[in-house]
Structure 1
Amino acid sequence: MQCLQDQEALIPQPRGALPKGCAAAAAATTIGCIAFLSPEGLFGWVAMVILILTLGPLLHGLCLLAEEMLYHSNTRYRGRGLLSRVLPACGLGGKTLLAAGLAGLLLYLAGQPLPHKGQCWKLLSLASVLYALFKSLGVLGPAEVEVSDICEGRKMNVAHGLAWSFYLGYLRLVLPRLEDSITAFCATHQSCSPFWSRGSRRLLILIPINANISHKLENEDSNIRFYDNLPNNEIDRAGVRGRVYKHSVYIVLDEHGKGHECTVEYATPLLTLYNMSQESGAGFGEPERRQQVLLFYRTLQDILEHSLECRNRYKLILLNDELQEDPHFLSKAILRHLQQQEKEEFCLTPPPHQEMGHPFECTPTAPPRANPINHSEPMSREPTLMLSLDKPQPLKGPVENTDNYQ
């Protein structure tokens, strides 16, 4: 089982702007070297290269536009929004058109860098059509990293949809009611611990990286025992009157045999990821499943951290149970998180301080003092709020206390 401090090493972080910085540095270095070695015709060469790089995507966008306008304008765009939707969808955006226009203007002003006039236009036309051909054949298709970056940036992954569905359709409904359910459960079960720690009053959500979920926790670990279910929460949902939501209470035994009650369950959307990886038609292999599980964990964590309804009512436990032979790794992981949450608790109000009189107060040899000194009181303490029961008095009026001499 991975330690708590090592969990962050498993979660993929959002991709940054390092490729842009590397590309900008390489372009600046190359242009600087060319300008130093042969500055003649530099602007013409730069303009022609920019035209080659922009005319190719524009020509490929026109090919895509023909398909969209002939067969998909009504079904995908409802016959409207040509300029606002279809053109940007085909890659004919304003940035590409602006770059091509500025490059053409720069080439016209700087002059053609090639000795013969027709060579420049032949190079531009050949580069554009060959780019469109190779792009359509998939030779110049986006890399897997680029596709992943686009899907993560636009929240288009399967994990993003499952995380939002799990939050909006389940966690946001049940977590605000969890505290009341545990209180009602403790009132009706005399055998359970009369005082649950603050950590055990949270819903522990297990997220195994391999997405292989057992429907009964006791089958995974013999130190985990099912105790009972919390009172049902009935919520009217999507036309179903009194839809039932429930949580299960488990007793987790530590190494000394002491039981710890807690509400724990797996994240049910992981069943969807696991079943998708078992279906050949889903096109979802084991590496993709692992990546989606980690993205699910990161997305759900970000969602819950910004949710006021769910704050301090949950705990996500990432289980790296690959290549683990410990039969009690699950119970140890749960106990480790419970102990960590109990250590993070702190008392908002200090315990009542027992006042002690002066040791020499009211003795036959020493008369009582008006204000005895309490030596047991610490030199400094937490500030307290003092309220006065006296009625508010009116503000004192101005008093003339100066003398004017002629």
Structure 2
Amino acid sequence: MTSDPRLGPIALPDSRARRVVEKLLDGSGVGLNGPASQDIRVYHPDFFPRVLHQGTLGLGEAYMDGWWDCDRIDDMAHRLLTHGLGEHAQSTSERLMYRLQAGFFNLQSRARAYIVGEAHYDLGNDLFQRMLDETMCYSCGYWKDADTLLEAQRAKLELACRKLQLEPGMRVLDIGCGWGSFAEHAARHHGVEVTGITISREQAELARKRCEGLPVEILLEDYRDLEGQFDRIVSIGMFEHVGHRNYDTYFETVSRLLPPEGLFVLHTIGSNSSHISADPWINRYIFPNGVLPSAVHIARTSESQLLMEDWQNFGADYDHTLMAWLANFDARWHEIADRYNERTRRMFRYYLSVCAGAFRARNLQLWQVVFSKGREGRYDAPR
């Protein structure tokens, strides 16, 4: 039997799998085939055993296959996570397999570093240009005094520049430069020279075009291969791809590239737990080999190399950022629908929505951490 949403939700099968799912949902505010925007509408009778056997991987794949739908997946995810279904939603075998792989293998080695670029960031600049704003920032905006996505992203870039205490003529390294958002902003508004590195060919190509005429160099390079020194270093939304086996090397590299009076700003999503794990669906379809650091991971692996000057958490702002991306994606999908299939559309909608729900539930954080090499004097971080 195949699913067909046009026929409406199916009559729920009287099965053990369905009863188990209903029991898990009880008290969460999420119902089955109900009228609320957060309720799950089931279109395929095998939805229940698939979710029970495969956890979040099965839930995400079933959505991509059209087996279920929900008007507000972000609200559904927020309610389920707040209800405590986060651990139950992943199959034991999937969690165990990832931990075994992450324990025995370096999933983010030099040889594997370009996998996430090819799988996600190289998917298509046309797609990301419609989902993001004109800055092409693919990281959390700073919504403290912002009303729009563009204002929030510009505020985030300027906040990082102010924390770095940029001065004209400084040499700045941007580790994981994306489509050149920070490089363009810092060079244009602060008169600095920027070297940006990325592991995505598509990002590098567009970043070079966006930074034409500015003192910006964009390299397709792994951070471990960098040489020289830079007055300031920034890394926005890249540390999630480093991996726990490489944290020591990462901070050693930053320390080696930074002079005694230098500053480093690390902008990264963070986990509430130090357990090494990854959501199976996100790992397979969005960010292969990614792993989120905890506060302990960052503090422990940086302490022998750098001095922590400031730590700011504005993770709640990622909810607003993701929902703004989702609104853009939905509003402009028709412009690229002929170049991508329906499965890709549903994959991105699910990804943006469940991540928004996770940040809303405060299961995920967003940190900006400022480091120095022990420079003299007081450091006052702007907010």
Taking structure 2 as the reference length, the TM-score comes to 0.23
